[in-house]
Amino acid sequence: MDYAVQDYTDLYIGGKWRPGASGDRFDVINPATEEVLASVASAELADADAALNAAEDAFADWAARTPRQRSEVLRKAWELMTARLDEFAKLITLENGKAGNDARGEATYAAEFFRWFAEEAVRADGLITHAPSSGARIMVQHKPAGIAVLVTPWNYPAAMGTRKIAPALAAGCPVIIKPAGETPLTMLALMPLLEEAGVPKGLVNVLPTKHSGKLVDHLLHDPRVRVVSFTGSTGVGRKLLHSAADQVLKPAMELGGNAPLIVFDDADLDTAVEGAMLAKMRNLGEACTAANRFYIHESVADAFAEKFTAAMAKLKLGNGLELDVDVGPLVNRDTQQKVAEFVQDAVGKGAKITLGGTVPDGKGFFYPPTVMTDVPETADCVHDEIFGPVAALQTFSDTEDVIRRANDTEYGLVAYVFTEDMKRGLQVCEKLDYGMVGLNRGLVSDPAAPFGGTKQSGLGREGGHEGMLEFMETQYISASW
Ligand code: NAD
């Protein structure tokens, strides 16, 4: 079976495909060609109400199933998705632009959340113990929290959805997903697969829309909703936290990043370059985990820049559907323009370009792999997410100083450290105010690990053992017998 883009373009509510209350639609654009890929139904408030009703109807039965029954459905979803990785990868490339390897990597990662949470579904822990003084028993258990509203970004159209759907279903919660307007097709195409896996009607509902603000706000004000799980920019995350406050919803927020990548003088430079390539170029830099600021010890700065520039120069830019292409287009014109502005700003303030830096002519939102050295601390790209294939290199000489500079940001998602001295490496990791650190690794994402940030990078964790708890309430029973 091949998922053709026109196959699933309506809203998915209560296990049925619907055009939406107003009949309104919006276009999804292929970023490599600028052509319209599909016209997708746009959800209105009446559709949100229908999804809430469907989710409410599905809740009791799903919550009452045994963890093993829920686990088997999730396991089946993993098997089915794994059998169709190429089809999902193609769809991801078509709507997001990322090249084949990246898209296949995402599809694999996305499917793994079903496997991991199939395993976690049967491991929800609790506690029974004696109260120290009263003689009562303290019993603690976790229960499904209720309907969860999931809002996801365009950079990982499959994985940012499954990272939320799988733990929610494992916990016993129904969900309503609002995918990004740029990339709703992958999430819609996942629905027939979930049906085949045995997900009951109404448990998972998908509402693409042109009116994200109004629609999500409406959902978050319905008393049946208990969880809001968001991945996206810090600005939108703040707005959703305000809306969530009215009903005191459980929030899970995976927000922006500004990852530092530190290379010490004793680092294995080949390992550091390989890690830097992954940390910078996975998803062509359109990742919250993307290395944004490179701090290279001054004694190895020239050697690192030379090797890293050579590795970046080998990447082939083009339509991600072509087999030999390593780097596809950015997702849209705005992102392309923003990346170009970051480079112009840095160059204007004294940075030197060793590779790339020019928007190519022709169709598509392309930006070439770009390396800048001597980037001054005042450059905008040192303080904001570049979200593109641009590496901004700086130097350092003192360990305490580089830790201070790395922590000097409102973000705290992920940092990367390269050194052969494990004692120093671990000491530096502990001093970095980040939710995640890659030590001699440029890739930290793993379904089995708690993904998330400190400060304005978010609240809560996805994946790992923690991921399911975001969708559960803790209940304590004080009992005597
Ligand atoms: P975005 O915040 O613009 O959009 C994310 C989602 O929110 C989309 O579905 C969008 O339609 C929706 N949205 C936009 N305005 C809204 C509103 N007022 N109310 C409700 N929903 C609204 O982010 P983006 O541009 O799609 O993604 C890029 C950002 O996401 C980056 O900052 C990146 O770091 C972050 N991100 C974070 C993680 C993480 O795990 N921490 C992962 C991927 C992306």
Q: What is the pLDDT of residue 125?
A: 85
11 close to 166: Cβ distance less than 8 angstroms: no
Ligand 1 centroid to residue 427 C-alpha, Å = 33
- Tell whether pTM > 0.95: yes
Residue 1 has a pLDDT of 56
Ligand 1 is surrounded, with C-beta below 6 A, by: 151-155, 160, 178, 180-181, 212-213, 216, 231-233, 236, 239-240, 254-257, 288, 385, 413, 458
H or E element at residue 254: strand 250-254
Backbone torsions φ then ψ of 83, nearest 5 degrees: -75, -15
Question: Which has the closest alpha carbon to 74: 231, 193, 177, 230?
Answer: 193
- The beta-strand segments (E) located in 258-400 are 259-263, 291-297, 352-355, 370-373, 390-396
Question: How far does CA 445 lie from the centroid of its chain?
Answer: 9
The one-digit pLDDT tens for each residue of the chain (481 residues) are: 567 777 899 999 999 999 999 999 999 999 999 999 999 999 999 999 999 999 999 999 999 999 999 999 999 999 999 999 999 999 999 999 999 999 999 999 999 999 999 999 999 889 999 999 999 999 999 999 999 999 999 999 999 999 999 999 999 999 999 999 999 999 999 999 999 999 999 999 999 999 999 999 999 999 999 999 999 999 999 999 999 999 999 999 999 999 999 999 999 999 999 999 999 999 999 999 999 999 999 999 999 999 999 999 999 999 999 999 999 999 999 999 999 999 999 999 999 999 999 999 999 999 999 999 999 999 999 999 999 999 999 999 999 999 999 999 999 999 999 999 999 999 999 999 999 999 999 999 999 999 999 999 999 999 999 999 999 999 999 999 8
- pLDDT for position 481: 86
- Assess contact for 414 and 289: CB atoms under 8 A: yes
Identify the residue whose C-alpha is closest to ligand 1 atom 18: 213
Query: What pLDDT, on a 0 to 100 scale, did the predictor assign at position 15?
Result: 98
Instruction: Note the ipTM here.
Output: 0.95
Strand ranges in 257-376 using DSSP code E only, listed in sequence order = 259-263, 291-297, 352-355, 370-373
Rounded Cα distance between 112 and 124, Å, is 19
| CA-nearest residue, atom 39 of ligand 1 | 254
Cα–Cα distances in angstroms (integers) from residue 226 to residues 52, 300, 368, in the given order: 12, 51, 43
pLDDT of residue 3: 73
- Report the pLDDT value the prediction gives residue 302, as an integer from 0 to 100: 98
Supply the residue whose CA is at minimum distance from atom 9 of ligand 1.
180
Known active-site residue 254: yes
Residue with CA nearest ligand 1 atom 13: 212
Distance CA 481, CA 479 (A): 7
Q: Is 144 strand, coil or helix?
A: strand
CA of 18 to the centre of ligand 1 (A): 25
288, 414, 445: residue to mutate for ligand 1 pocket, most atoms within 8 A of CB: 288
Instruction: Give the per-residue pLDDT at 371.
Output: 98
Residue with tokens 């009703």: 53
**Nearest ligand 1 atom, CA 462:** 40
CA–CA distance, 319 with 297 (Å, rounded to integer): 36
Of the residues 230, 236, 466, which should be mutated to test ligand 1's pocket, given the most ligand atoms within 8 Å of the CB?
236
Task: Identify the active-site residue in 44, 254, 385, 462.
Answer: 254
Contact 369, 309 (CB under 8 A): no
